[in-house]
């Protein structure tokens, strides 16, 4: 049986934590910041933990991430 391949785009964008959750960067902060509220910009700092359904999809892209 050959080795399974990891999606290159997924390994660059997501990280699996020690407890098994998936961490990703916040969405919606590439451009158009003038029209966004200050509250939105403030709360979208750093990273976020993905929801369970999204986590399942991302983990299928990374078979060797623990």
Q: What's the domain range around 16?
A: 8-61
In a domain, 1, yes or no: no
Domain annotation covers residue 3? no
Residue 42 lies in a domain: yes
Query: What pLDDT does 48 receive?
Result: 97
pTM of whole model > 0.75?
yes
Task: Answer whether residue 18 is part of any domain.
Answer: yes
pLDDT at position 23 = 98
The two structure tokens encoding residue 54: 């999204």
* 3-state DSSP assignment of residue 48: strand
- Count of domains in the chain? 1
User: What CATH number is given to the structural domain containing 42?
Assistant: 4.10.410.60
Contact assessment for residue 56 and residue 20, using Cβ atoms and an 8 Å cutoff: no
Domain membership of residue 2 (yes or no) is no
Per-residue pLDDT 10s for the chain (66 aa) are 999 999 999 999 999 999 999 999 999 999 999 999 999 999 999 999 999 999 999 999 999 997
Helix, strand or coil, per DSSP, at residue 14:
strand
Q: Does 43 map to a domain?
A: yes
């Amino acid at each position: 049986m050959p080795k399974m391949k990891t999606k290159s785009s997924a390994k660059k964008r997501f990280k699996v934590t020690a407890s098994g959750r998936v961490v990703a960067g916040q969405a919606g902060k590439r451009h158009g910041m003038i029209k966004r509220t200050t509250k939105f910009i403030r709360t979208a700092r750093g990273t976020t933990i993905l929801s369970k359904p999204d986590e399942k999809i991302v983990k299928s892209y990374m078979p060797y991430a623990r």
